[in-house]
Amino acid sequence: MVKFIAVLALLVVNHTHTIALVKSAGDSIPSVEYNTKQWIVPAALFTAGSAIAAIPSLRKLESKVYDGFNTKRESTHIDDYTQYLPALAVFTLDAAGLKGKNKPQQQLLLYALGNVSAAVIVKPMKRIIGRARPDKSDFRSFPSGHTSTAFVAAEFLHQEYGHYSPWISVAGYATAAATGYLRLYNNQHWLGDVMAGAAIGMASTKLVYWMKREINKKKKLKTQGF
């Protein structure tokens, strides 16, 4: 479990920190200079997860992973809470007086929009694809909603506080990865479901922050008379 979580978290942070942090004039909080590299990890995760779920020969890999997880078929509800922990960390750091990239009210809006964006993708996909869960409880396995929510929160933490230390991002992504692990442990999802859910969560929050940046850029140009 620890290796699974650590590898995924470090992989994500390695790529997200290839984005340059630029310090604005008169601003103590660095702004993020976005580039296409930030989309590599979510694109790769979604492609791999979809391929594993769709290609029969790769589905054998999922079966092997499933057989290796929780052979006693026990369950826990910890993942119902861990999916929100990285977001809770943002507001805890706010309360502790550490300044994020945005004010708390803006953070709350951005986090909400990230979750809405992810839900708009995840929920229809679950109904359209109709994949059976490992425990056969229903046909809404792909993609994993819990994992998507967890990675919305992890990316949210990274966007707001990752510039202070990469270890803040590592902690957030590790918590999100732990949520994905627990979805496998609870026999609620296959490996492909979790990978796709992680990709959607990350990409949704990245998109919201990119849109905010573009809107701010247009407002700035407008005030300058361009």
Is 134 among the domain residues? yes
Is 26 among the domain residues? no
| Confidence (pLDDT) at 31 | 45
Mean pLDDT of all residues in the chain? 86
Q: Which domain holds residue 44?
A: 2-21+35-223
| pLDDT 10s digits, 28-73 | 444 444 567 889 999 999 999 999 999 998 888 888 877 766 667 6
**Radius of gyration over every alpha carbon of the chain, rounded to an integer in angstroms:** 18
Is 28 among the domain residues? no
pLDDT (average), residues 173-186: 95
Is 219 among the domain residues? yes
**Residue 91 belongs to a domain with what CATH number?**
1.20.144
Greater confidence (18 vs 106) lies with 106
Is 30 among the domain residues? no
**Counted domains in the chain:** 1
| Confidence (pLDDT) at 61 | 81
pTM summary value: 0.85
C-alpha distances out from residue 154 to 68, 161, 209, Å: 27, 10, 13
| Confidence (pLDDT) at 217 | 86
Is 79 among the domain residues? yes
| Confidence (pLDDT) at 91 | 97
Is 111 among the domain residues? yes
Is 72 among the domain residues? yes
